């Protein structure tokens, strides 16, 4: 089906499809890069036990640490007592420095579940953009035009009827369930309507409606 008719119509179709592809490719690249950055932050955050252990080591040997330098310190753990080499490189009082390490370890520990949740959300958004790229290659011009018009609006009009949202609403056990009816509905549902705390589902490894 041609929108506009003739050669100009074909050019319009190609331009619309290319603009949509660029949008979703940009989304995919952005969220993929962000997920990689968050993965590195999570890797660092998960090292909080090491930071806490360093603080314990300093606190247990305050009488031995007199300033910057290399020390043989007593280390206590579940395997017993042993001696370890430790390089103290801070200009701060060892007790103060150890307290700061405890604070850092606590902060890193709190960050772990938050980062894991954000990574999951980011990966879902990347996957959604990837699926939309798949849909664009198979959509007819009417679907592409509808999606293009939707993407030009930041959010639905206040006067827009619920039937025009592009997704269906159901109620189950006190929960509201929304399911995209087409690529436009999927776009609106994921990128405009859904909240970060919502649960997001779709069929695995195949293009599907977003729920």
- Segment (H or E) for 168: strand 167-172
Distance CA 179, CA 189 (A): 8
**pLDDT > 90: what percent of the chain?**
45
- Summarize pLDDT for 170-206 with one digit per residue, the tens: 999 999 999 988 777 888 888 778 887 788 887 766 6
Query: Could you tell me how far CA 95 lies from the centroid of its own chain?
Result: 37
Radius of gyration of the chain (CA): 27
Q: At 105, is the pLDDT very low, low, confident or very high (cuts 50, 70, 90)?
A: very high
The span from the CA of 199 to the CA of 178, in Å, is 11
Mean pLDDT of all residues in 139-157 = 71
Q: 94 to each of 64, 90, 97, 98, how far by Cα in Å?
A: 10, 8, 5, 6
Tell me what pLDDT residue 165 has.
Answer: 67
- State the pTM of this model: 0.69
Tell me what the pLDDT averaged over the chain comes to: 84
Residues 6 or more apart in contact with residue 146 via CB below 8 angstroms: 182, 184
Report whether pLDDT(64) > 60. Answer: yes
For range 40-44, the mean pLDDT = 97
Give me the sign of the Cα torsion angle 150, 154, 155, 156: negative
């Amino acid at each position: 089906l041609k929108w506009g008719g003739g050669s100009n119509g074909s050019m319009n179709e190609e331009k619309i499809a290319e603009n949509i592809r660029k949008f979703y490719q940009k989304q995919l690249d952005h969220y993929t890069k962000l997920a990689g950055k968050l993965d590195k932050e999570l890797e660092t955050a998960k090292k909080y036990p090491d930071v806490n252990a360093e603080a314990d080591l300093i606190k247990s040997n305050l009488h031995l640490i007199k300033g910057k330098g290399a020390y043989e310190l007593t280390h206590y753990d579940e395997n017993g007592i042993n001696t370890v080499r430790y390089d103290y490189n801070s200009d701060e009082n060892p007790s103060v420095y150890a307290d700061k390490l405890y604070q850092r370890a606590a902060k890193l520990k709190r960050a772990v579940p938050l980062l894991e949740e954000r990574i999951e959300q980011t990966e879902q958004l990347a996957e959604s953009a990837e699926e939309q790229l798949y849909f664009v290659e198979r959509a007819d011009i009417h679907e592409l035009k509808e999606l293009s018009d939707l993407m030009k609006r930041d959010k639905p009009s206040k006067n827009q009827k619920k039937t025009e949202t592009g997704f269906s609403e159901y109620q189950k056990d006190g929960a509201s369930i929304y399911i995209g009816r087409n690529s436009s509905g999927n776009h609106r549902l994921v990128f405009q309507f859904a909240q970060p705390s919502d649960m997001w589902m779709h069929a695995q490894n195949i293009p599907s409606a977003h729920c």
